[in-house]
Amino acid sequence: MFGTSGTYASVRTFKAEKAVSSDGGSVRWVVASDDFDLHREASAYVASLRSRDCSINTERVYAGRVALYLTYCAAHGLDWAAPGFAPLSRFLRWLVEEPLPRRGRRAPSAPRYRSKATANQILTTVAEFLRFGVPNGWVAPETAAMLSEEKYLSFLPPGYSVGEDGQYRVVDAKTIKFNVAVPGYEWLDDQQYERLVNATTRARDRFLVSLLGATGVRIGEALGLHREDMHLLSTSASLGCHVLGPHIHVRRRLNSNGALAKSRSPRWIPVDEGLVSLYAEYAYERERISEAAESDMVFVNLFRAPLGRPMRYPNAKDLFDRLAAKVGFAARPHMLRHTAATRWVRNDTPRDVVQNLLGHVSPSSMDPYVHATDTDKRAAVDRLAAKRRQEERA
């Protein structure tokens, strides 16, 4: 079934399918039709993501986006390899006008729709898929060429380098997209962060939330930690590590749970005694589950089957959804990354140090993680008003 209205019930549909190898049990994603015929070109594109070291979660999302595009083409009689400018523009509009499928057995009180930002992301993946088809002979070069045009950057983003000869002032800009406002970055203030930590009832969950808030690691980096990455003694010389004090190592590696560090460069992040104590409490909780002893991963399932298996993204999302409902405000793993960065900057940590802690390559990548609170803005206005009053009295 395509959509919620039943309009395309008789049309061939495509979807992302999980493929598990028979030898090592590794998981991959492919695109297949409703009668389980593999879409060769789309599956080859998804497979190419692995050569770029994309995570299994990225494969799943991109496979779903391409499958949605192929289903739309089948429903509207379009050749997916030669869609044309106008049909792609209609596809973009359709993405925000078509109601999303219902979740679960209960019908929602009102239909749900994709945002314009989400529609842009889907079309970006489709454009990448079409460009991938050019060197393979599936897509004509002129089809890929219509997806972007050259744009001269009159105003440069913070930290953007135009090169010695200004050669990077001209970039490829999308020709088909919605103009959307830059979304605000969400984070937690100190009180909210404390409430979130206190809302946890298990040592593992308390350690995970505290780790994200104290180190600023991404959820994929946290779920990809191995026990050998936890150097929590005053010295780790016996492990061949010469970093002083307790710290953790973030390394990019393939993991059985699909977790992958986004940064290609390894880094270490210092931690305080409080986090070390929380890890000790979690280790004690974990020791009581015999199935967990075989796993070298830090975060494993302790409270529901399969016990001892490394935690996955859906496990973490479910945890944060429950905590958010408990505390009464939005709480997602990435918000704690913003929280950590903001607290570091406000405590006068040099920006290059914060950049290293976050694992960013470009200094400009750190800008979205720094937020002004209501107190910050009020203080700025009050300082200016006080200065003016002082000048008037003088």
- pLDDT at residue 105 tops 70: no
pLDDT of residue 240: 92
| Residue 162 one-letter amino acid | V
Q: Note whether 261 and 125 are same-domain residues.
A: no
Residue 300 bridge partners (DSSP): 310
pLDDT at 367: 67
Are 170 and 230 contained in the same domain? Answer: no
Residue 177: per-residue pLDDT? 87
Q: CA 362, 367, 372 angle in degrees (round to 5)?
A: 165
Question: Residue 288's CB: how many other CB atoms inside 10 A?
Answer: 8
Can you give the pLDDT at residue 245?
95
Q: What is the pLDDT of residue 372?
A: 64
Q: What's the pLDDT at 104?
A: 63
Give pLDDT, residue 52: 86
pLDDT of residue 12: 86
Domain count for the chain? 2
Q: Is residue 1 situated within a structural domain? A: no
Q: Are residues 197 and 162 in the same domain?
A: no
**Does residue 160 sit in the same domain as residue 199?**
no
3 inside domain: no
- pLDDT given at position 348: 83
- The arithmetic mean of pLDDT across residues 213-239, rounded, is 95
The average pLDDT across 81-108 equals 87
Write the CB contacts of 254 (distance below 8 Å, at least 6 apart in sequence): 260
Higher per-residue confidence, 251 vs 180:
251
Is the CB of residue 223 less than 8 Å from the CB of residue 259?
A: yes
In a domain, 386, yes or no: no
pLDDT band at 183 (very low <50, low <70, confident <90, very high): low
**6 band by pLDDT with thresholds 50, 70 and 90:** very low
Q: What SS3 state is found at 343?
A: helix
Mean pLDDT of 188-214: 96
Residues 321, 202 share a domain: yes
250 and 132 share a domain?
Answer: no
> What's the whole-number average pLDDT of the chain?
87
- Statement: residue 322 has pLDDT above 90: yes
DSSP H helices in 98-242: 116-133, 141-145, 190-199, 203-215, 219-223
Give the DSSP letter string of 243-291: -BSSEEEE-----TT----S-SS-EEEE--HHHHHHHHHHHHHHHT-GG
Whether residues 218 and 332 fall in one domain: yes
CATH number of the domain encompassing residue 208: 1.10.443.10
- 108-117, 171-180, 291-300: segment of lowest average pLDDT: 171-180
Lowest mean pLDDT among 11-20, 79-88, 153-162, 347-356: 153-162
Q: Is 4 a residue whose pLDDT tops 60?
A: no
Residue 182 lies in a domain: no
Query: Averaging pLDDT over each range in 19-23, 235-239, 253-257, which range is the top one?
Result: 235-239
Of 15-24, 166-175, 250-259, the poorest mean pLDDT is in: 166-175
Confidence (pLDDT) at 2: 41
The confidence score (pLDDT) of residue 85 equals 94
Residues 257 and 153 in one domain: no
| Greater pLDDT, 187 or 48 | 48
Give the end of a domain, one of 142, 174, 206.
174
> Which domain, by its residues, includes 293?
190-369
Provide the pLDDT for residue 25. Answer: 59
> Has residue 67 been placed in a domain?
yes
Assess whether 81 and 140 both reside in one domain. yes
CB-based contact 284:314 (threshold 8 Å)? no
In the numeric block, the tokens 């994200």 are attached to: 212
Averaged pLDDT for residues 23-47 = 88
Q: Specify whether the CB–CB gap between 70 and 39 falls below 8 A.
A: yes
Q: 268 lies in a domain? A: yes
- pLDDT range class, residue 349, cuts 50, 70, 90: confident
Average pLDDT over residues 214-229: 96
CA 283 to chain centre: 28
Q: Which of 123, 149, 174 is the last residue of a domain?
A: 174
Same domain (yes/no): 227, 140: no
What mean pLDDT comes out for the span 29-36? 93
Helix axes 203-215, 313-327, angle to 10 degrees: 90
Predicted pLDDT at 5: 37
Q: Are residues 284 and 341 in the same domain?
A: yes
Q: Are 59 and 28 in contact (CB under 8 A)?
A: yes
Does residue 388 sit within a domain? no
Please indicate, yes or no, whether the overall pTM of this predicted structure exceeds 0.75: no
Residue 179 inside a domain? The answer is no
pLDDT(1) > 50: no
In a shared domain, residues 159 and 222 = no
**Three-state DSSP class for residue 56:** helix
Residue 284: the pLDDT is 97
